[in-house]
Amino acid sequence: MARIAGVNLPKGKRIEVALTYIYGIGRAESKRLLNDLKIDLNVKVDELTAEQEQIIRDAVAKLVTEGDLRRQVTNDIKRLQEIGAYRGFRHRRRLPARGQRTKTNARTKRGKRVTMGSGKIKATKK
């Protein structure tokens, strides 16, 4: 099992896909990284040689990934909130920050709403 940037990569996956398990590396970044290192995209993780693993480990270490990147994103959001920016305000209220509509969509952010009802008076028990 290859361990890169503190993440165990799944054995049976292609290295191109397995690198995306590292926070901060997407499909495009993974492809670019492997092409620069001249490693075949279709090789499985358990088929990598020790020297290939080390080359990938060194290349990923140069990127901002995992804990450092999470910390950077958190600090960016805190900074927006402290300076009173609109985006910071939206983050504080846990609403979409990039201009999406919230009247009908945004159920993930807003949660399920309970309707008021029809206004009919319920029949009383006798």
CATH number where 30 lies: 1.10.8.50
- 16 and 49 in a single domain? The answer is yes
- 21 and 54 in a single domain? The answer is yes
What pLDDT was estimated at residue 106? 81
Number of compact structural domains in the chain: 2
Position of tokens 């080359």? 55
Q: Give the pair of three-digit tokens for residue 111.
A: 């949660």
Distance, CA of 57 to CA of 55 (rounded, Å)? 5
Is residue 2 within 8 Å of 9, Cβ to Cβ?
yes
89: domain CATH number?
A: 4.10.910.10
The pLDDT tens digits of the residues spanning 39-97 come to 999 999 999 999 999 999 999 999 999 989 999 999 999 999 999 999 999 999 999 99
Would the pLDDT of 120 be above 90? no
- Give domain status of residue 81, yes or no: yes
CA distances to 18, 62, 87, 104 from 48, in Å: 12, 20, 44, 49
Residue 68 burial (CB count, 10 A): 13
Domain that holds residue 30: 3-63
- Give domain status of residue 42, yes or no: yes
- 71 and 59 in a single domain? The answer is no
The pTM score is 0.75
